[in-house]
A and B are shown apart, each in its own frame.
Chain A
């Protein structure tokens, strides 16, 4: 359960104030699939990073599963993030010198115990990466990269999946694979926050949240 209460995020760039989020509140239930829609620059990514404990808002609070994320010390928050959240970004952020399999296993670095090998295998299979596990990101297509990033995010079955414009560069076929995977994850009890400006995609979510430019 995600509880966002009156958060405000102001960026300061060369004296000019940018109010990315202004007194924004949102509540998401466990197991819900919420799509965040809005124009470019309205603060979608800012909201997602705030939920993820990566970007401290100037005002307001983010409470996840009863924990006020920004009241935790940094190290505790890092551990909490590793335990409860998975991230997927439009830019994939794969580690260039690791192959697909190794990239998927990267969350194991945060020491949450053994890699669930069966789940790993299942993810590789459903995301169609079986033939690509020894390839490095440079050798992958955009779709394959995004699927690898998704597998990485879902490896340890996080409570919440935060996805930012993950279908932006993908063709229809890849979008389907990714969406199917998201639904599977939701079926298993996962909560999804998906940022997108693709209306068709947003309509497939349980709920659409509109963000407006201030």
Chain B
């Protein structure tokens, strides 16, 4: 016969004492595990909320970006690359540049690995008096967009004007009664009207677009252009300095201007929105962190209190158990059972209470915490917590039972055996 057997039998026989001890361990373990689980759920929720917000922000940013792209396209070319010696005030005063640069410049630019600009359009523009009609017009020669050598080809914003044809601005075709297919002469050269533009409300309305080569011949500027129109890449909105550096590094004899500040404002608005969204998320995270800290602090008070209560409770229950078993201890001592074995009789019981209490308490604690936290997930099964509970609960239970066990082992057997 072993002490272990006696412990088993005693537990089976005195179920109430065992159940009450067990209950106290379970309460302690449940309180610890449920607190951990609820904090864990809180963290999961925080993660979920932040993820959702980030997703929302991203979608909003994407949509803003898309808007931006559309707007940029609507606005047309927003960069103007001009010869270096061109006075910008002359451009504003005359609506076109008066200095010229070689047409090859556009090829040079197209062959660089530009990150910041897209859609290159070489042009030669000059305000002239249309001799045949006696009207001031802008004659613009263009050969269509020059594709970048290192970029996937994009759908051009402006198609080339075929030789011998023209595109005519709104004001001109309206006042002259011109229709598509009409033949018009400019400086003794005949052009077929290929397209009549809609009203744009700017100088385009008195502009005639023809082939670049032909314009160079008409204006007597062979191989020359006076501007390259381009579009700044939306992803780097507003960063004109970088664009300038990039262009100047390959074409030192040029200068870059930006027109259409709406693009810039849009880009800025988008950046601001992104920043605000990020700050909002940061604030949310901080708020939730503060709340978690509060809960942690509360748990830090309640959990030790529950643990202490349950230890005291176990001490009392074991004291009662020892008193109840005085006669048993007396006869065991008389029969020759030593003090250590008497202690084992109680500590082994405490150990089993701790182990069983830890198991039940863990399951109930995780379950209860899940119910209270309103979240069920296998990720809540916390192995380190389980290990800690499985070790600490029996330890705590043994510590609680220690003093009663010592009292039992020190009990004078003669005292009990003398009683009649």
Taking beta carbons and an 8 Å cutoff, which residues of A are in contact with B? 45-46, 49, 52, 54-55, 74-75, 78-79, 81-83, 87, 89-91, 93-98, 102, 105-110, 112, 115, 152, 165
Taken residue by residue from 4 to 28, chain B's Cβ proximity to chain A (1 for < 8 Å, 0 otherwise) reads as 0010011011100000000000000
27 A-B residue pairs with Cβ-Cβ distance under 8 Å, sorted by A, are A54-B413, A54-B417, A55-B414, A75-B339, A79-B336, A81-B334, A82-B335, A82-B337, A87-B334, A87-B417, A89-B417, A90-B420, A91-B327, A91-B419, A93-B331, A93-B417, A95-B6, A95-B328, A97-B9, A98-B9, A106-B335, A109-B1, A109-B2, A110-B335, A115-B1, A152-B335, A165-B420
Task: Decide: A49 near B414, CB < 8 A? Known: A54-B334, A75-B338.
Answer: yes
In the assembled complex, B111 has its CB within 8 A of some CB on chain A: no
In the assembled complex, B341 has its CB within 8 A of some CB on chain A: yes
Residue of chain A at shortest CB distance from B324:
A96
Judging by beta carbons under 8 Å apart, are B1 and A105 in contact? yes
In the assembled complex, B3 has its CB within 8 A of some CB on chain A: yes
- Cβ–Cβ < 8 Å partners of A74 in chain B: 339
Judging by beta carbons under 8 Å apart, are A78 and B414 in contact? no
Most A CB contacts (10 A, CB to CB) among B13, B336, B417, B418 go to B336
Most A CB contacts (10 A, CB to CB) among B9, B12, B331, B332 go to B331
- 5 more contacts with CB within 8 A, not counting A82-B337, A93-B331, are A91-B417, A97-B9, A106-B1, A107-B335, A165-B420
Dominant SS among interface residues on chain B: helix
In the assembled complex, B367 has its CB within 8 A of some CB on chain A: no
Judging by beta carbons under 8 Å apart, are B414 and A54 in contact? yes
- Cβ–Cβ < 8 Å partners of B338 in chain A: 75, 78-79, 110
- Checking B2, B14, B336, B419 against A107 with a beta-carbon cut-off of 8 angstroms, the contacting residue is B336
Residue of chain B at shortest CB distance from A56:
B414
In the assembled complex, B288 has its CB within 8 A of some CB on chain A: no
Bound CA span A54–B412, Å: 8
Bound CA span A93–B13, Å: 17
- Cβ–Cβ < 8 Å partners of A52 in chain B: 334
- A157 → chain B closest CB, angstroms: 14
Q: How large is the interface on B (under 10, 10 to 19, 20 to 34, 35 or more residues)?
A: 20 to 34
Taken residue by residue from 334 to 369, chain B's Cβ proximity to chain A (1 for < 8 Å, 0 otherwise) reads as 111111010000000000000000000000000000
- B79 → chain A closest CB, angstroms: 96
- Cβ–Cβ < 8 Å partners of B10 in chain A: 97
Residue of chain A at shortest CB distance from B413:
A54
- B343 → chain A closest CB, angstroms: 13
Bound CA span A83–B338, Å: 13
- Cβ–Cβ < 8 Å partners of B413 in chain A: 54
Task: Decide: A81 near B336, CB < 8 A? Known: A45-B418, A90-B420, A93-B417.
Answer: yes
Bound CA span A46–B417, Å: 10
Judging by beta carbons under 8 Å apart, are A97 and B13 in contact? yes
- Checking A46, A54, A90, A109 against B6 with a beta-carbon cut-off of 8 angstroms, the contacting residue is A109
Residue of chain B at shortest CB distance from A136:
B13
Residue of chain B at shortest CB distance from A98:
B9
Taken residue by residue from 312 to 344, chain B's Cβ proximity to chain A (1 for < 8 Å, 0 otherwise) reads as 000000000000000110111111111101000
- Cβ–Cβ < 8 Å partners of B13 in chain A: 96-97
- A48 → chain B closest CB, angstroms: 9
Judging by beta carbons under 8 Å apart, are B336 and A112 in contact? yes
- Cβ–Cβ < 8 Å partners of B341 in chain A: 109
Residue of chain B at shortest CB distance from A89:
B417
- Cβ–Cβ < 8 Å partners of A46 in chain B: 418
Residue of chain A at shortest CB distance from B338:
A78
Task: Decide: A83 near B336, CB < 8 A? Known: A93-B331, A96-B328, A109-B3.
Answer: yes
Bound CA span A83–B339, Å: 17
- Cβ–Cβ < 8 Å partners of A106 in chain B: 1, 331-332, 335
- Cβ–Cβ < 8 Å partners of A110 in chain B: 335-338
- Cβ–Cβ < 8 Å partners of A81 in chain B: 334, 336
- B4 → chain A closest CB, angstroms: 11
Judging by beta carbons under 8 Å apart, are A102 and B9 in contact? yes
Residue of chain A at shortest CB distance from B2:
A109
- A64 → chain B closest CB, angstroms: 14
Residue of chain A at shortest CB distance from B14:
A97
Bound CA span A74–B330, Å: 15
Task: Decide: A93 near B336, CB < 8 A? Known: A98-B9, A102-B9.
Answer: no
Within 8 A of A (CB), among B270-306: none
Judging by beta carbons under 8 Å apart, are B1 and A93 in contact? no
Bound CA span A193–B419, Å: 19
